[in-house]
Amino acid sequence: MLTILFWNLNGRHLHPLVAQLAQKEAIDILVLAECKVAYPDLLNALNAGNFRKYVMPFSPTRRLQILTSLPFKSLRPIHDAGSISVRRIVPPLGDELLLVAVHLPSKTFQDSPEQTFGLVRLAGIIEEAEEKVQHNRTLVIGDLNLNPFERGVVSADGLHGVMTRHIALGGSRVVDGVRRKFLYNPMWSRFGDNSIGPPGTYYYRGTTQTVYFWNIFDQVLLRPDLLPFFRDEDLKIITKIEDVSLLSSSGLPDKSAGSDHLPILIRLSLNR
Amino acid sequence: MSTTDNLWGEIPSQQEVRAPIVILREQASKLGELTNMSLVGNVQITRDYASISMILRIIVPSLDNYEYDVLKATHEALSYPVKVYDFNDTLATAKSWEPIKCENEVEFIKVVKGILTSETTHKVIASLLAQTKI
């Protein structure tokens, strides 16, 4: 089993909570965005007195921090492009994986077309990396700053993220004469009251005409080749770490206890 | 005998304006020279409906061709103005993710130089060179 966690820390010093979560959930790969904790403090919190030890493999980028409890050389850098980090994961047991960690620009800094072009660029980087590693066992995880239903995430030129396994297992479709591979986006089914867990990962109440209140900017998407290793119930939006609730009494992300984003966790049974 | 009127007026003399792509390619090439090809510079070009984008990238052959994107420059039909995206927030003056608009070649060179000589970029280059020796 390979367990991956993503959390946008919103610049807060949440390393003690991250450490508790990492140990409790036996996380193999930890991806952090907006992490302003100094590396020694982060590693110290993760490792002090704990059985599971984390390392920070070579990475020249600062926007995303990727740590692992796997052997040091299990995480191999493929590409860093500012807010995008691509890593080849070679676990001691089981098939290898292509990890694409992202923290894309906020809606505050980019308008919708700019965000869509950003996703087109991300899709190109993923395709290049898949070509390089010669497989399609790709997992995209991170804060896209877009919802699963927005153009850049759904469109064929973008991530081409679809809402059901059945569609994703079709593999691809031809658009404008070009074959475009699918990604399965299980986050579609995590919206609203009748979903497993909270209604989203990020809450925003604005004064404009259209506001969703709950958003799912923090997402995980998988290529069909990974679907045999993934059960939908193995994806969680975390709302509690030991005794600390990440939600306020009104059920919204509690920025005083945690971050404005909730963490997401996925398990893959790659070593079967 | 009829003469053809010149409706073009006086054609401006050709100025020595170098396009962003030329400047970036020069710097990509320079990186290889400066590091004995331990690090290789590359400029990737993409086109969308209205603009052309160039990404200046460092490639590390000994790290299984690991790639590190330094900056992106984007312009429309004319070479200038050009927008520069400082991918790694190397310039203290630029806010994260906001492009820096350069009206002309001089401004473009100043911004590119700022990014390439920044502490962040130099730390990355040092770190990549160290990895090539492992």
User: What DSSP letter does each residue of A246-263 carry, written as one string?
Assistant: SB-TTSSB-TTTS-SB--
Query: The domain A2-268 belongs to what CATH superfamily?
Result: Endonuclease/exonuclease/phosphatase (3.60.10.10)
CA distance B99 to A192: 36
Closest residue in chain B to residue A77, using alpha carbons only? B66
Q: Which residues contact A237 (CB under 8 A, 6 or more apart)?
A: A190, A197, A198, A200, A201, A218, A262, A263, A264
pLDDT in tens, A70-128: 998 899 999 999 899 999 999 988 899 999 999 998 776 666 777 777 899 899 999 99
Interface predicted TM-score (ipTM) of this complex, two decimals: 0.88
Instruction: Identify the band that residue A203 occupies on the pLDDT scale cut at 50, 70 and 90.
Output: very high
CB A230 within 8 A of CB A162: no
Q: Where are the alpha helices (DSSP H) in A34-179?
A: 39-47, 112-133, 151-154, 165-168
In this complex, do B131 and A81 lie within 8 Å of one another by their Cβ atoms? no
Please, which pLDDT band fits residue A201 given cuts at 50, 70 and 90?
very high
Do the Cβ atoms of A82 and B95 come within 8 Å? Answer: no
Q: How far apart are CA B90 and CA B115, in angstroms?
A: 6
Residue of B87, B89, B128 lying closest to A81 (CB–CB): B87
- A80·B68 Cβ contact <8 A: yes
Using an 8 Å CB-CB cutoff, list chain A residues near B124: 60
Least confident of A57-71, B18-32, B85-99: B85-99
Map out the domains of chain A as residue ranges. 2-268
Q: What is the mean pLDDT of residues A156-182?
A: 96
CB contact under 8 A, B96 and A80: no
Residue boundaries of the structural domains of chain B:
20-132
**Is the pTM for the entire model greater than 0.90?**
yes
Q: Hey, which residues 4-33 in chain B have their CB within 8 Å of chain A?
A: none
